[in-house]
Structure 1
């Protein structure tokens, strides 16, 4: 495993919910990342983000790691879920809510 793949693997495995995105939760840098943050906020779960614009190795490496060509990318308890379109479809169907419940994801403070 390459150094960047090892770094990504450590992040994915050590965070319950992590979103690799463009920008930050407070200042998303694309509409897809903004939509992904809105979904996570609506779910009320605790999550971490990784700004791929700050690290070119992560930005390119995450696409290889997941074998998924676009960003953002959501991981829940080490499992790749998908990008913002898949997140939206799952949320609308109630599947994302069920996933975070089944995986016993911690609630965000104040949620």
Structure 2
């Protein structure tokens, strides 16, 4: 029997995900974790994961409050190389997600 190659997460998608979406991923994961801990769905031990992600995002915010490391909007491309050519620049959606994350971090501090 021929072994079937998994197509669940093609290698190209992994490269794309790691390269383009890292800042977004960090913000979403930390926001979800912090929100779920605050609401009591997750144990407080998970808050540490959210705080690590928060610190990573804080390291991308400059003295003017601009979040760096966000990619320009991306259509669907065929290759990882095309995604690597997408400009990385401050974008409104990135700024908005960072504000949501910071607000949630403040909410979590209120309930500790």
Is the pair's TM-score, using the shorter chain for normalization, greater than 0.5?
Answer: no
Q: Which has the higher helix share?
A: 2
- The TM-score normalised by the length of structure 2 is 0.30
Between structures 1 and 2, the one with greater strand share? 1
